[in-house]
Amino acid sequence: MPSGGIHAPRAGRNESEADEGEPSCRRTAVDYAADRGPHEGSIEATGGKVSATLRFDNIGKVFPGVRALDGISFDVHAGQVHGLMGENGAGKSTLLKILGGEYQPDSGRVLIDGNEVHFASAGASIAAGIAVIHQELQYVPDLTVSENLLLGRLPNTIGFVKKTDAKRYVREQLKAMGVDLDPNAKLRKLSIAQRQMVEICKALMRNARVIALDEPTSSLSHRETEVLFKLVRDLRADNRALIYISHRMDEIYQLCDACTIFRDGRKVASHPTLEGVSRDTIVSEMVGREISDIYGYRPRELGEVRFSAKNIEGHPLAEPASFNVRRGEIVGFFGLVGAGRSELMHLVYGDDPKKGGDLVLDGKPIKVKSAGEAIRQGIVLCPEDRKEEGIVAIASVAENINISCRRHYLKAGVFLDRKKEAETADRFIKLLKIKTPSRRQKIRFLSGGNQQKAILSRWLAEPDLKVVILDEPTRGIDVGAKHEIYNVIYQLAERGCAIVMISSELPEVLGVSDRIVVMRQGRISGELPRGAATEQSVLGLALPKSSSTAQAA
């Protein structure tokens, strides 16, 4: 492997399998990570072999009211990155959960090197040399980076671990992978992008034969994405078999050797090579129709200034920030990861305490010290991390959509109008094409993208909207759903709402916004009207002046 490639510890047996009479002596984390015996089916147990051909043969899976997978068959070869594309709810993540041992298929077989395999648990899949990196991050927030990376790899019987050795080992692994993370940092304190890198590193440290990545770059900056791409290419050169799920067409064409398209739980196309396959072809296969202009910008007449934020101060802004939004206007906020866009909006929204500044709505000063006060004023914020900050997993799709606006459905101020609640849920399920058997389905059974659309609906369902702040509204959402969400944004603007849209996708900001505000290192560095905004002009305002090598998010 070339220098700087993947250097992973050998897989090991569970310490619970050790002889009962084994002496209890002090050993280091490096000892445990490096010399534990092989699991059955692991790389060491198969003579160090890392190449594998993975085959899905007629896989079927049914959930209550939903056929998630129907006769899925395709191969992934060793030394190949195989792209998997499809709309939200097409069945991509379900297939990975079968590969990872979280779900059992109702029909069909999974084969590795021609041998049928059965994974009764996630642990069995890991032991067989499978690593699945899910879109939904799986970490322990109150543990450090080091502890999360070594979780499950340290002794689980009597034994001691030197923390200094564990941290040194993790630091060496992160350096080898080109990842800049502090091993001592608590996961809770890290950004979403940093947490995602921890999950990726955890899987890569297992030295897996088959690696599946589900939307791995959805929260990563450009620099972090390039680090990940190098890791993937190194793994391919090392003859691993890789599955790569992404809604970002550029990534599929950059990384993948082959591509399979899912729609409604079925395989609709498989391309052994992407050479000569157009993007329009893949989009049409995904959505079953042609989308000529995904952004579909709709010009509209803008009114007077509806919302102003003046001299907003607070952590981590480097200086007071001011901006305004007119009636019917969509203002896009762009910047590098860490520029302060989301933080500024959380200060405005009352989620975080402001040190100073004024807000004006429809020409009148307002006070907003909490999210509840903001909502009562007609201001809503749809957060970036919708799963952690928004989803009520045990509730239904309808309950999740209506949770913020139930006060509008009260009869005589006491009784809930269930009919109106149902009508609202059905309207947004249809509008955003949320794939669910019914409004009563528990939201935890929906795909990640459909959960996002349901939570986005929650804020769009608010009847008295005046200001809408959308933080990464299409992150992790497929191309067809993006088109639908853009149409909803335009409808809100046409109603006279003032729209703020934070996005790390520059083409999206350019395609949807009437005006673009750019932030850099905790301050607003400039703004551009739609007609004057280009990739070059926006990036010129976003990149740090002291560095010509900084990369956009």
Mean pLDDT over residues 225-253, rounded?
Answer: 90
Distance CA 463, CA 402 (A): 11
Determine the pLDDT at residue 162. 67
Angle between helices 279-287 and 479-494 (to 10 degrees): 80
H or E segment to which residue 444 belongs: none
Q: Do domains 42-140+189-287 and 304-378+465-553 have the same CATH topology?
A: yes
Q: Is 292 exposed, middle or buried (0-12, 13-18, 19+ CB in 10 A)?
A: exposed
What local confidence, expressed as pLDDT, does residue 291 receive?
62
- Give the pLDDT score at 292: 61
Higher pLDDT, 288 or 376: 376
Residue 75 has pLDDT above 50, yes or no: yes
Span 29-61, pLDDT tens digits? 333 333 333 333 333 333 445 566 899 999 999
Report d(CA 535, CA 150) in Å as an integer: 41
Each residue's pLDDT tens digit, 158-201: 555 667 778 888 888 888 888 888 999 999 888 777 887 888 88
Give the domain 42-140+189-287 fold: Rossmann fold (3.40.50)
For residue 63, the model assigns a pLDDT of: 85
Per CATH, which fold does 304-378+465-553 belong to? Rossmann fold (3.40.50)
Q: Where are the domains of the chain?
A: 42-140+189-287, 304-378+465-553, 388-463
User: What whole-number distance in Å separates Cα of residue 365 and Cα of residue 363?
Assistant: 7
Which of 73-82, 190-199, 303-312 is predicted least confidently? 190-199
pLDDT the model gives residue 155: 53
Q: What is the pTM of this model?
A: 0.62
For residue 44, the SS3 value is helix
Name the least confident of 75-79, 175-179, 411-415: 411-415
- pLDDT-wise least confident of 156-160, 406-410, 436-440: 156-160
Per DSSP, which regions of 203-341 are E strands? 210-214, 241-245, 258-263, 266-271, 305-313, 321-326, 330-335
pLDDT mean across residues, the chain = 83
pLDDT at 134: 83
Q: What is the pLDDT of residue 387?
A: 61
What is the 8-class DSSP label of residue 38? P
Cα separation, 3 vs 547, whole angstroms: 27
Section 105-121 average pLDDT: 94
Band (20; pLDDT cuts 50, 70, 90) = very low
For residue 13, pLDDT over 50 is answered with no
Give percent of the chain above pLDDT 90.
Answer: 46
- Most confident of the ranges 55-59, 446-450, 533-537: 55-59
Query: Could you give the C-alpha distances from 536 to 385, 426, 510, 527, 552, in angstroms and in order?
Result: 29, 42, 11, 13, 11
Q: How confident is the model at residue 471, as a pLDDT?
A: 92
pLDDT for 538 equals 94
* Main-chain phi, psi angles of 363, to 5 degrees: 80, 0
Q: Return the structure tokens found at 67.
A: 């056929």
pLDDT at 82: 98
